[in-house]
Amino acid sequence: MARKSAPPPNRDSAERFNEERAAYTLRGSDQPDLDQGVAAIRETQATLPAKPGVYRMCDAKGDVLYVGKARVLRNRVANYTQVDRLPQRLKRMVSQTRSMTIVTTNSEAEALLLEAQLIKRFRPPYNVLLRDDKSFPFILLRADHAFPRIMKHRGARKAKGDYYGPFASAGSVNTTINAMQKLFLLRSCTDSFLSRRDRPCLLYQIKRCSAPCVERIDEAGYAELVRQAKDFLGGKSSSVQRELEEQMAAAAAALDFERAAMLRDRLRAATFIQGSQAINAEGLGNADVFAMATKAGQVAVQAFFIRGGQNWGHRAFFPSHTEGLEEGEVLAAFLAQFYEEVPPARTILVDRELPEAELLAEAFRAGAGGKIDISVPQRGDRRRLMEQAARNAVEALDRRLAESGSKAKVNREMAEFFELAEVPQRIEVYDNSHIQGTNALGAMIVAGPEGFIKGQYRKWNIKAAQTNDDFAMMREVFQRRFARAQEADPDRDSGMWPDLVLIDGGKGQMSAVRDALEELGIEDVPLIAIAKGPNHGREGREVFNFPDGRERMLPVNSPLLFHLQRLRDEVHRFAIGAHRDKRSRAITASPLDEITGIGPARKRALLLHFGTAGKVRAASLEDLQRAPGVSAAVAQAVYDFYHPGG
């Protein structure tokens, strides 16, 4: 490895790219910047090995401009010094480069995977970016209990069990889980809920659970239901249906009509799941289908997810920073980032030839647990499926362009209504959430021209203002937010300063915020307070308060009003959700949390042994020492905490 550095996370890449594109047109006066960039690259190149790896190009502030991978680092990086052969886009990048960070790898496939991870982490302005901050939902059949639970799962797959997915949306996975409950009667409740039951819950009454909590089914019978569920989700739906049909016929022949009716209802649930597949994927097994459409400089990628011959949904993606790249390069870069967190299917169908398709397949092999086939279907059902995906890609892009046009118009109207010099690129919206001053919390969401920027949402635990005083809480939030901004970025050139601040509240909140910023010497941040209008906002007539005391309103059917209401509703959602999380943690807090050296495992051991924190407090030193998993030193620390006088 040649160098190491830890550049700070990049600000929103779309904003940075637009600024840099406007600032670096590389006229003659820009030649010194280009020379400095080439010199920095040559300095790094001199120490590079002839090995595969990943390189990061960084600007003068340490922000990552570009992440690339190479089979031979020395040769790949040398290409950037031949500026006459570079396209204008890469010349701009070289002109901003002041340092490089190099990481060597064992193979080019390993470099490709690391490149995708770093692009997702730093979001560089010169890489193709998969702009989607939503993780994909999976169905999880847990394997850490005698009666496995079926549940929706997002995020890291740490829990022991079988994962099925990805599904395109939470709606599609919820629908499938509901149908699976009707079909296989698997429990969806938590382990703690299961252990406390002494009679069946409502799900048993409506025939969506077999009630293992009260032994209405034994462990062997439940295991059989789990086996059938795994077969069904694994692509053996036809055999499961035949098995249910045979059981229903046998029950009817034995005059057990109640059981026959129950099996009939389960068969209907199976038919519902299969009938809801709008895409014919029979015989395809596990496959992901990708088709791309381009128009007016925009790109859309339509993805279909096929598992076990069943369609598990589809989603459109809109990669950014695709200017000047071949369509195959864009799709290849998209796939590398897409499969960075989603396990790939064994079959990947694409609508065009990809550069380095064999390298992609090799890199994806570990995640799939076997050989990957990336191909362009030419005929038959696969070709028809690809054509359907291509049509969906075109339609999704047309909708996106139409929405972008309406968004641009609304943004222009917002700048005019709020008397801004230009369309705001960064809008911050603030709200507080508390109950009678307890567990008080301030929240900020961020929005740009293209929508919400969820990676930049922030929340603050209110420290000083602990009374039921919204004004004091808002003042504290702004003092902390902008004092830190002044310290970290006094020149305001990082893109992290707002072009518009919206405050949920009226004149009182506006006055508190204005005073807080004036104390910090900040007087040029546009402020607007959004208050409920007549009849407490039931008519949708919000009042917009300006810093100078003016009030303005928008027509009830104004698209701008709807947009601003959506911003206000989003900060409500975020603030309330964060407050609920904080309140839940406070409810479950224990005095044991305050004892130095008592972690979760020892806390659990003490509570399991004594029952409650109160009994731990009342225990003698000898009793504490007898608790399993508690050493003499820990017992002494607990006893001393509750008996400071000896």
Tell me, yes or no, whether 211 lies in a domain. yes
Per residue in 610-639, pLDDT (tens digit) is: 777 777 788 888 888 888 878 888 888 888
Sign of the torsion angle spanned by Cα atoms 241, 242, 243, 246? positive
Tell me, yes or no, whether 626 lies in a domain. yes
| 172 and 226 share one domain | yes
Q: What is the Rg, in whole angstroms, of the alpha carbon atoms belonging to the chain?
A: 30
For residue 291, list its beta bridge partners: 302
User: Containing domain of residue 372, as a range?
Assistant: 287-399
| 366 and 494 share one domain | no
Burial (CB < 10 A; 0-12, 13-18, 19+), residue 646, is: exposed
CATH number at residue 573: 3.30.420.340
- 275, 295, 314: which is the final residue of a domain? 275
Q: Is 611 left (phi over 0), alpha (psi -120 to 50) or beta?
A: left
Name 409's Cβ contacts closer than 8 Å, sequence gap at least 6. 559
Q: Which residue has the tokens 């496959």?
A: 287
What's residue 11's pLDDT? 44
CATH number at residue 603: 1.10.150.20
For residue 153, what is the enclosing H or E element?
strand 150-153
Per residue in 479-522, pLDDT (tens digit) is: 999 998 888 888 787 778 999 999 998 899 999 999 999 998 88
Tell me, yes or no, whether 132 lies in a domain. no
| 292 and 385 share one domain | yes
What's residue 5's pLDDT? 40
| 328 and 271 share one domain | no
pLDDT higher at 170 or 15: 170
Tell me, yes or no, whether 433 lies in a domain. yes
Distance CA 288, CA 314 (A): 10
Question: Is the Cβ–Cβ distance between 285 and 346 less than 8 Å?
Answer: yes
| 238 and 171 share one domain | yes
Q: Is the pLDDT of residue 584 over 60?
A: yes
Distance CA 199, CA 195 (A): 11
| 195 and 259 share one domain | yes
What's residue 1's pLDDT? 38
pLDDT higher at 13 or 470: 470
CATH number at residue 45: 3.40.1440.10
Question: Is the Cβ–Cβ distance between 443 and 458 less than 8 Å?
Answer: yes
| 600 and 582 share one domain | no
For residue 500, list its beta bridge partners: 427
| 458 and 566 share one domain | yes
Q: Give the residue from 409, 319, 311 showing the smallest Cα distance to 131.
A: 319
Tell me, yes or no, whether 415 lies in a domain. no
Name 230's Cβ contacts closer than 8 Å, sequence gap at least 6. 141, 162
Q: Give the residue from 191, 224, 196 showing the smallest Cα distance to 210.
A: 224
| 575 and 596 share one domain | no
User: How many domains does the structure of the chain reveal?
Assistant: 5
Residue 451 CB neighbours (<10 A): 11
| 111 and 181 share one domain | no
Buried b / exposed e along 403-420 (16+ C-beta atoms within 10 A): eeeeeeebbebbbebbee
pTM of whole model > 0.85?
no
> What is the mean pLDDT of the segment spanning 21-34?
52
| 351 and 384 share one domain | yes
Distance CA 282, CA 235 (A): 10
For residue 298, what is the enclosing H or E element?
strand 298-307
Tell me, yes or no, whether 421 lies in a domain. no
Tell me, yes or no, whether 301 lies in a domain. yes
Per residue in 458-474, pLDDT (tens digit) is: 988 887 655 677 888 88
Distance CA 502, CA 506 (A): 11
Q: 26: pLDDT confidence band, cut at 50, 70 and 90?
A: very low
Question: Is the Cβ–Cβ distance between 412 and 307 less than 8 Å?
Answer: no
Q: Is the pLDDT of residue 9 over 50?
A: no
Q: Which residue has the tokens 């200017």?
A: 323
Q: Which residue has the tokens 């799939």?
A: 368
Q: 205: pLDDT confidence band, cut at 50, 70 and 90?
A: confident
Tell me, yes or no, whether 548 lies in a domain. yes
Distance CA 37, CA 60 (A): 10
Structure tokens that stand for 57 in this block = 């190009």
End-to-end CA distance of the chain: 57
What's residue 17's pLDDT? 42
| 364 and 311 share one domain | yes
